[in-house]
Chains A and B, each alone.
Chain A
Amino acid sequence: RKEVEQDPGPFNVPEGATVAFNCTYSNSASQSFFWYRQDCRKEPKLLMSVYSSGNEDGRFTAQLNRASQYISLLIRDSKLSDSATYLCAAKGTGGFKTIFGAGTRLFVKA
């Protein structure tokens, strides 16, 4: 079982829709959490870090639930340009290893 798991999708949504991704992690010692975005045949880039209190960046909201060991990403008012693969990641104690989930593919249609 992977240390970080997420639904691979794909999620096919129309423009303007709200879509939510969940991700679970098994290492309870994980301390930092992230969502990365990866476009086709490109490198991953940080979308946002995830804090215990939850955080928002424009149309994107990230939440962390330590008790249930999952993180979520909510995208509101989806744009065509949001089409990509979204990777969740957890960084554990000893702090240096960042482990990724397999990624969730999102297709936003006109």
Chain B
Amino acid sequence: NAGVTQTPKFQVLKTGQSMTLQCAQDMNHNSMYWYRQDPGMGLRLIYYSASEGTTDKGEVPNGYNVSRLNKREFSLRLESAAPSQTSVYFCASSEGELTLNTGELFFGEGSRLTVL
């Protein structure tokens, strides 16, 4: 049972390059999230998807796009990477509001992105 799987785990980009971070969960969760984590800033929500077919902006959406490809997969795209996007990116999932639950988030292991 893999839980939440993110790829790639490490990536180095040059300014202006594009890339997509992939995320998949095998827990049949409804909701999925992308966070970034920077020193002293904690986890900041980029985008989330409450359920398949919907996506919404979080705290820091500028410079990113997302796609909820199906119930399992939620990708994050950087169209034109900037040094300010150097960060650790975490994908997470939760059962969502459709069921009674605590709202616990299950995280992937993270993707370390460096933009030069």
Which A residues are closer than 8 A to B by beta carbons?
2-3, 8, 32, 34, 36, 42-46, 49, 87, 89, 91, 95-103
Contact = CB atoms under 8 A, between A and B. Distances in A.
A43 B109 contact: yes
B104 A34 contact: yes
B10 to A, nearest CB: 12
Interface in B83-116: 90, 94, 96-97, 102-105, 107-110
A45 B43 contact: no
Contact of B103 (A8, A42, A43, A91): A91
9 contacts: A3-B59, A44-B43, A49-B102, A49-B104, A89-B105, A96-B48, A96-B96, A96-B97, A100-B44
A44 B90 CA distance: 9
Interface of B: 31, 33, 35, 40-45, 48, 50, 56, 58-59, 90, 94, 96-97, 102-105, 107-110
Nearest to A100: B43
Given A8-B40, A103-B42, A98 B103 contact: yes
Contact of B45 (A42, A44, A98): A98
Contacts of A95: 97, 103
Contacts of B102: 32, 34, 46, 49
A19 B59 CA distance: 31
Contacts of A34: 102-104
A32 B45 CA distance: 17
Contacts of B94: 98
A2 B38 CA distance: 14
Given A96-B56, A103-B42, 5 more contacts: A32-B103, A43-B107, A43-B110, A46-B104, A97-B58
A100 B90 CA distance: 13
